[in-house]
A and B are shown apart, each in its own frame.
Chain A
């Protein structure tokens, strides 16, 4: 094991850009990752809002002003969209993990369900909340 190559092994190429033709599956996959990571912004805002509410009225008003401001509303709106999208895409992954719905046509259909479903759920959330 003395000559084991550690850390300098070839990596698989990063297949985006002109060498790669995007299709529904790859786009929905990358959106799952983007939405999952982007929600950290909303998480930071919610943590700030909660700790401010636990601290004092002045602190709460400051945090609440930002969270309910125009920028805060825009961030929250896209976070809700991202949250529903990520949730539905996660359910799709759980289905795939069972070895189901892996045929191209079914997987594509589920992709549109994830996209359409997240828009519908976001509109419902905006109406109810």
Chain B
């Protein structure tokens, strides 16, 4: 008789190896986005269509800028993980890994570009 629980024997043997952390992080980001997305849609929507002066003035205010930064940041991390799951389903082997790396880089680049732009507009 082995003094080890069923759970202990099963840990790490699933196809995902690391258990449920990926799913858990998708839940965290999705709940954050439920709040952020409506705020972003209506702040960004009211800025869009304005002149250069109107837009730069609008995004130098804290609330729209922070909402935009948070939405893009959390949204892109959520996209990175979601797209990774989709890629793992449809693209396999080396191509799949390259695709995941490319998608991850694009997601981080969008975060960096947007946050830099928002900080510059705020200053």
Hey, which bits of chain A sit against chain B, CB under 8 A?
7, 11, 14, 33, 36-37, 39-40, 43-44, 46-51, 53-54, 57, 60-61, 64, 67-68, 76, 80, 83, 87, 90-91, 93-94, 97, 125, 128-129
A53 touches B59 (CB 8 A): yes
30 contacts between A and B (CB under 8 A): A11-B92, A33-B82, A40-B79, A40-B83, A40-B106, A43-B76, A46-B44, A46-B114, A47-B113, A47-B117, A49-B48, A51-B113, A51-B116, A53-B52, A53-B59, A53-B117, A53-B121, A54-B120, A61-B52, A68-B49, A87-B33, A90-B33, A90-B34, A94-B27, A94-B31, A97-B27, A128-B42, A129-B42, A129-B45, A129-B48
Complex interface: chain A residues within 8 A of B120 (CB): 54
Contact of A67 among B48, B82, B92 (CB under 8 A): B48
CA distance A122 to B97 in the complex (A): 36
B53 to A, closest residue via Cβ: A57
Minimal beta-carbon separation of B90 from chain A (angstroms) = 8
Number of interface residues of B (CB under 8 A): 37
Interface of B is mostly: helix
Q: Number of contacts between A and B (CB, 8 Å)?
A: 91
B72 touches A46 (CB 8 A): yes
B45 touches A54 (CB 8 A): no
Minimal beta-carbon separation of B5 from chain A (angstroms) = 22
B37 to A, closest residue via Cβ: A87
Near A by CB (< 8 A), chain B positions 75-123 give 75-76, 79, 82-83, 86, 90, 92-93, 106, 110, 113-114, 116-118, 120-121
Minimal beta-carbon separation of A37 from chain B (angstroms) = 6
Binary CB contact string for chain B from 32 to 54 against chain A (1 if under 8 A, 0 otherwise) = 01100100011011101100100
CA distance A76 to B44 in the complex (A): 12
B121 touches A37 (CB 8 A): no
Complex interface: chain B residues within 8 A of A93 (CB): 30
Complex interface: chain A residues within 8 A of B118 (CB): 50, 54
Complex interface: chain B residues within 8 A of A54 (CB): 116-118, 120-121
A50 touches B114 (CB 8 A): yes
Complex interface: chain A residues within 8 A of B79 (CB): 36-37, 39-40, 43
With A50-B113, A94-B27 as given contacts, are A37 and B83 in contact (CB-CB < 8 Å)? yes
B82 to A, closest residue via Cβ: A36
